[in-house]
Amino acid sequence: MESARALRSAGNEEFRRGQYAAAAALYGRALAVLEDAGAAAAEERSVLLANRAACQLRDGACRGCVDDCCGALSLTPFAIKPLLRRAAAYEALESFALAYVDYKTALQVDCSIQAAHDGKVVSQLLCSEAAGAQLAAISSRMAKALREKHGVNWREKLPPIPTVPIDAQKRWSVPSAGASAGGAPPGNTLQGDPGQAADGIERARALKEEGNELVKKGNHKKAIEKYSESLKLNQECATYTNRALCYLTLKQHKEAVQDCTEALQLDPKNVKAFYRRAQALKELKDYKSSIADINSLLKIEPKNTAALRLLQELNRA
């Protein structure tokens, strides 16, 4: 167990550094150590699987994330983190019905959850007090996708939504990046107090606006600090793309790529993220990946003149 805890702690540190593959490998080694521990280590194994799922989500390995989350939930049913991470992976895979079921199940566990962003595109959750505190909507985008596929009666096409037992309905909170080394990988904070969550989101928005004003003044280094503070409170796509622009201006191209990748995990069709990552990759002389990003952008906006111009430059490179 000591060895497994040490491996988990090392994995958490790699996760915080953005080294998701290394973190996943460490969590896998910890799982191997606990392989023969049986029921005594069920909770620890569940946490390790959920942590590895977070790594796979960040790296875009959504099917692996789903598998690990299923494993974690088999060991600790209705655990909030694997539910939300599996929902995120399902949504990225465009399995919107399965994502909806996981989100609604998570809201049964704790309907105070205000936002459930955890890696890929994860919609804002809204909890309605009407009709027994049922889910009013998880996001207009997801609802629209389900409605387009199944029509106005799309809810009738959903898989069965499990009933969460009373003893599993509790308040949860995700440790921050500064939590104990044994904690799970940091993600967006899920506050047990809705007011506290709202305050955090509002503060994040204010910090982002301060960053925007600094960009207008040409103070990109200070703007990066403001955006970074904002992202600690709320992982928002626009904040990542704004910080990426600052990194591009300061010629910190690897950091720009990372921020755009984070933004695309939150919104796989974000035009700014594709364009700015393509710009950064061009400067890093990764022309193949840059062209791939521009082509992805042009599938979304075929007449985007800036992207078409950059593509011409890349084809001449």
Distance CA 281, CA 264 (A): 15
Distance CA 156, CA 92 (A): 22
Of the chain, the percentage scoring pLDDT greater than 90 comes to: 42
Whether the domain at 2-168 and the domain at 194-316 fall into the same CATH topology: yes
* pLDDT at site 143: 65
pLDDT tens-digit map of 33-87? 998 777 778 889 999 999 999 999 888 889 999 999 999 999 998 888 899 899 8
* pLDDT at site 316: 85
CATH architecture of 194-316: Alpha Horseshoe (1.25)
Distance CA 150, CA 296 (A): 27
Q: Name the CATH superfamily housing domain 2-168.
A: Tetratricopeptide repeat domain (1.25.40.10)
Name the residue with higher pLDDT: 159 or 284: 284
Residue 218 has pLDDT above 90, yes or no: yes
pLDDT tens-digit map of 138-195? 445 566 777 777 777 777 777 887 877 766 665 443 333 333 333 445 433 333 333 4
Q: What is the pTM of this model?
A: 0.50
Q: What is the DSSP letter of 236?
A: -
* pLDDT at site 129: 28
Distance CA 200, CA 117 (A): 14
How far, in Å, are 59, 120, 139, 189 from residue 116 at the CA level? 18, 11, 11, 8
* pLDDT at site 136: 34
Cα 68-22-227 angle, rounded to 5 deg? 95
Residue 31 has pLDDT above 90, yes or no: yes
Domain residue spans of the chain: 2-168, 194-316
Torsion of CA 133, 57, 224, 215, to 10 degrees: -70
Residue 279 has pLDDT above 90, yes or no: yes
At 127 the three-state DSSP class reads strand
Whether the CB-CB separation of 36 and 74 falls below 8 Å is answered with no
- As separate numbers, helices (DSSP H) first and strands (DSSP E) second, the chain gives 15, 2
Distance CA 28, CA 45 (A): 10
Q: Which two tokens stand for residue 277?
A: 């990552």
Name the residue with higher pLDDT: 13 or 110: 13
* Res. 111 pLDDT band, cuts 50 70 90: low
Say which range, 41-55, 178-192, 243-257, 293-307, has the weakest mean pLDDT.
178-192
